[in-house]
Amino acid sequence: MPDQISAALARLEEVEPVLCAFHEVFRSFPPVDPALPLAGVPIAVKRGERRGHREALVAMGCVPIGLTTTPDGSTPWQTWGRNSRGVTRNPWNLDRTPGGSSAGSAVAVASGVVPLATGVDGAGSIRVPAAWCGVFGLKTTSSHRAAVGVFTRDPALLATYLGTSGTTSPTAVWSTDLGFAAVDDDQAEIAWRAAAPLRPRPVPLVLDDPADDWFAGRCGPNPVLEELFETTDLLLTPTTPGPPHGHDGPGDRINTALTWAFNLSGHPAISIPAGFDAAGLPVGVQAVARHGREADLVAAARLISGAVQVAPFPP
């Protein structure tokens, strides 16, 4: 068995009894062509994900080691995963949720089991757990509400996954609340400081609250965003309005307030580690790009991570 796979399985065995990030763990693995760009890289795969995405990563040389947890439908708010041993826990604070629905994938990367994991983002289901677990979480351009993407701790892996160098110097603007969201001051301040390498210009952006359109499944162009992206490469915001909540639920807060507009408009977006709040919980800064311009998101990830160190593995 390749050393990378053995190391991943050993780390999984160490943390899984507490974190409950995996629905199923594989025990046999096919040989890998060493010439492939991601040859031998162990990955975790979100349970129930589109099969084609997993197969595309395998074709690049990745080796799936298991299926990660997702919400089991036992709650109306769907913000953590569960397996037969219990709820999926945030590795930075076991009493807090890692976010959902790609909970297990975020935890698998954050806890050092795998360097790359897949996810599906229908309202923020990659970006929210990425922010709350202190890792990168990217959703790709999509003409549908749900988009595939990945979690990682390494911008270079993002670049290889997307087939881009991500070495551009994009322009950026900043909005704390998109004109409607209630965002905690510390989330905004930490994300704003992290965004400094991109020198974003604050703009008075006002979007309509996307809640009604999201629940009605209405996707399509957003005129306000289309006009904005005529003059800038990136829109930066905090990823989430507040920190991860407990396992008893989010209360009245909409954790996807800053993310789901971009599922409706189809823009690619990423959550980038921005640092920690006073309680020691990770905070994310979100970057949104023009359609098809994932390279600008990789550039943002490289620039910000050069100034804000990605969180170490939690204890």
Q: Active-site residues: which are they?
A: 46, 101, 125
Contact yes or no for 267/288 (Cβ under 8 A) = yes
User: Tokens at residue 128, please?
Assistant: 């929210």
Closest C-alpha among 259, 204, 200 to residue 235: 200
Looking at the DSSP assignment, which residues form a beta bridge with residue 201?
173
Task: Copy the structure tokens of residue 162.
Answer: 């997307």
- In degrees and rounded to multiples of 5, residue 202 shows phi and psi of -60, 140
Name the burial class of residue 26, with classes exposed (0-12), middle (13-18) and buried (19+) by CB atoms within 10 angstroms of its CB: middle
DSSP sequence for 119-132: EEESSSTTHHHHHH
Closest CA to 18 of 78, 102, 93: 93
| Residues 210, 237: Cα–Cα separation, whole Å | 16
Q: ω before 305 within 30° of 0 (cis)?
A: no
Please tell me whether residue 261 adopts helix, strand or coil conformation. helix
Provide the token pair at 185: 């001051």
